[in-house]
Amino acid sequence: MPRIHIPTPLRQYAGKQPAVDVSGATIGEALSGLVSQHPDLRRHLYNDDGKLRAFVNVYLNDEDVRYLQKDATSVKDGDNISIVPSIAGGAASSHYLLASSNPNRTRLLAARS
Amino acid sequence: MPILTEIAPVTLNNDEILRYSRHLIMPEVGMEGQLKIKAAKVLCIGAGGLGSPLALYLGAAGVGTLGIVDFDVVDYTNLQRQIIHSTADVGRPKLDSAAEKIKAMNPFVNIKKFNTHLSSDNALELFKEFDIICDGTDNFPTRYLVNDACVLTGKPNVYGSIFRFEGQASIFATKDGPCYRCLYPEPPPPGLVPSCAEGGVLGILPGLVGVIQATEAIKLILGSGDPLIGRLLLIDALGMKFRELKLRKNPDCPACGKNPTITKLIDYQEFCGIRGEEVEAEVTTSEMQVEDLKQRLDRGDDLYILDVREPHEYQICNIGGHLIPLGDLPNRVNELDTSKEIVAHCRSGVRSAKAVNFLRQTGFKKVHNLAGGILAWADRVDPKIPKY
């Protein structure tokens, strides 16, 4: 079975696991196996049109699947699939803290799952 | 690949020769390398978690001109990881505190302080004065701004980013290498990925990642070794695993591709979706001030206090609310009574605003967001509550 590595920010939606083993012969099948095991992950990985979000990259071993056959890229036992979302942390300045603590700047993202 | 824009005819005096002797006796650095380091001009964006080790090590190594951009002041919560600042610096500008430490360690460094918010108006002019830009910022608008300004000015972007116990590092925007937009064409919508202030960060991690950035900056200056161009280093401090992914230059990249559409700096707040939302949320969020909540509780009003933080935060402090973490709310919404008046709170008011919006969409009519969260409660109602 291929193994999907879950990055820290998304582990809370995957039963806090760092990696999940899934079945599937392609990247697309493996990812849909993952979101059927952990439905809360869906909105973090896919947009409303069912497309992988632009700030989430998927790697098969060390290669970006955008430069392979994307969803159709075939996977085999022992392959490592990594989900690599963008993270911005670095300084955690109080400016950003203030900016993000302004509730007017937030919107509903925790939509009904 | 020559990184330095100019190599001034620099020399080392006897004090400098003694100071840098462990570099000078290494064939990989030597006198030639040390003079390159002295001639180099490196700009650090941010004097925070990543900026602390970056600036300290670059200063110690003898980088001749070290620029720092920061407009923040030192806060108690910074000291767990921002090792360039000390307890006595709390309340002082980070720029002054950082410059003092570097100067004390190495008086031969010319420190240029920029007490400003890096913006589309000043980034290009600022970057032109330097050879290498080190990105130690903490938010997506500035990440994209730094990237685009590096692409437009042709300066390499030594990149590092952290979250909890995970880090990323790479070098973007070199002549033939990929840029940050090749990796991530678009930022996540605000709120979907928590910031360090919301999600926390292991204090040692910025040290690890910042030192990797400093190493890469020095390698670029020396023109030696195998720089992190076209590679994304993933650091998992908990598993202590380092993994490496291949990055490719995207020919269709809007910034560095064959037909770039980004030919000048844009409004990065808007690009990251931060502005448009203010209007949207203003109409839906009903806020309650902490003083009003106190008064109504004292009066004996039947209010349901909903605490949407995580259990480990509840252990730090609480005001007796019913704990349902934001992420669990959709599954546990049936525990709430629609007929009751609900006041939701979190640490600072961000997550509870999301909870309030969610509850309103679900059909709850009487829900308020406690403005400023438990931090405001600690400031203005009960000073015995610890702030975190």
Query: Is residue A113 domain-resident?
Result: no
My answer on whether B273 and B314 are in the same domain is no
Q: What mean pLDDT do residues B96-103 have?
A: 98
What is the 8-class DSSP label of residue B189? Answer: P
Residue B227 sits in a domain whose CATH number is: 3.40.50.720
Give the Cα separation of B140 and A93 in Å (integer). 13
Query: pLDDT by residue (tens digit) across B33-59?
Result: 999 999 999 999 999 999 999 999 999
Query: pLDDT by residue (tens digit) across B287-313?
Result: 999 999 999 999 999 999 999 999 999
8 A C-beta contact, residue B227 and residue B183:
no
| A93 pLDDT above the threshold of 50 | no
On chain B, the residues whose CB falls within 8 A of the CB of A40 are 327
Q: Please count the other Cβ atoms lying within 10 Å of the Cβ belonging to residue B45.
A: 30
Give the Cα separation of A37 and B202 in Å (integer). 29
Query: pLDDT by residue (tens digit) across B113-122?
Result: 999 999 999 9
CA distance to partner chain A, nearest, from residue B247 (Å): 7
On chain B, the residues whose CB falls within 8 A of the CB of A106 are 190-191, 277, 281, 350, 353-354, 357
Give the Cα separation of A45 and A38 in Å (integer). 11
Pairing of strands A56-60, A80-85: antiparallel
Residues 6+ apart with CB under 8 A from B19: B62, B106, B108
Per DSSP, the three-state class of B237 is coil
Range of the domain at B242: 14-277
Query: Which A residues in the span 19-38 are in contact with B, Cβ-Cβ below 8 Å?
Result: none
Residue A40 sits in a domain whose CATH number is: 3.10.20.30
| A99 pLDDT above the threshold of 80 | no
Out of B256, B277, B298, pick the residue that ends a domain: B277
8 A C-beta contact, residue B301 and residue B330:
no
| B238 pLDDT above the threshold of 70 | yes
As separate numbers, helices (DSSP H) first and strands (DSSP E) second, chain B gives: 17, 13
My answer on whether B121 and B209 are in the same domain is yes
Quick check: is B196 catalytic?
yes
My answer on whether B241 and B339 are in the same domain is no
Query: Is residue A8 domain-resident?
Result: yes
pLDDT value of position B361: 84
**Structural tokens at position B384:** 């015995």
Put simply, the answer to whether A12 touches B189 (Cβ < 8 Å) is: no
Q: Report the domain count for chain B.
A: 2
Give the Cα separation of A62 and A56 in Å (integer). 15
pTM: 0.82
8 A C-beta contact, residue B224 and residue B34:
no
Give the Cα separation of B202 and B356 in Å (integer). 30
pLDDT value of position B22: 98
| A108 pLDDT above the threshold of 70 | no
Put simply, the answer to whether B245 touches A62 (Cβ < 8 Å) is: yes
pLDDT value of position A98: 26
Q: Report the domain count for chain A.
A: 1
Give the Cα separation of B1 and B46 in Å (integer). 27
Query: Is residue B191 domain-resident?
Result: yes
Per DSSP, the three-state class of B329 is helix
Chain B contact for A88 (CB, 8 A cutoff) = yes
Query: pLDDT by residue (tens digit) across B243-257?
Result: 999 999 999 999 999
From B134, B182, B196, B256, the catalytic residue: B196
Query: pLDDT by residue (tens digit) across B124-182?
Result: 999 999 999 999 998 889 999 999 999 999 999 999 999 888 999 999 999 999 999 99
Out of B258, B277, B296, pick the residue that ends a domain: B277
pLDDT value of position B286: 85
What value, to the nearest 5°, has the Cα angle with vertex A100 and ends A96 and A104? 140
Q: Which of B29, B52, B37 is nearest to B7 (CA)?
A: B37
Out of B245, B277, B309, pick the residue that ends a domain: B277
Per DSSP, the three-state class of B169 is strand
My answer on whether B160 and B302 are in the same domain is no
Q: Which of A11, A12, A16, A107 to mutate to test the interface with B (most CBs of B within 10 A)?
A: A107
- Measured over the CA atoms of residue B193, residue B238, residue A58 and residue B254, the dihedral's sign is positive
My answer on whether B243 and B295 are in the same domain is no
Range of the domain at A98: 3-105
Give the Cα separation of A95 and A111 in Å (integer). 28
Average pLDDT over all residues of chain B? 92
My answer on whether B308 and B255 are in the same domain is no
More confident: B230 or A48: B230
Give the Cα separation of B142 and B136 in Å (integer). 10
Q: Which of B127, B112, B52 is nearest to A91 (CA)?
A: B52
Q: Residue A89 is nearest to which of B70, B78, B163, comparing CB atoms? A: B163
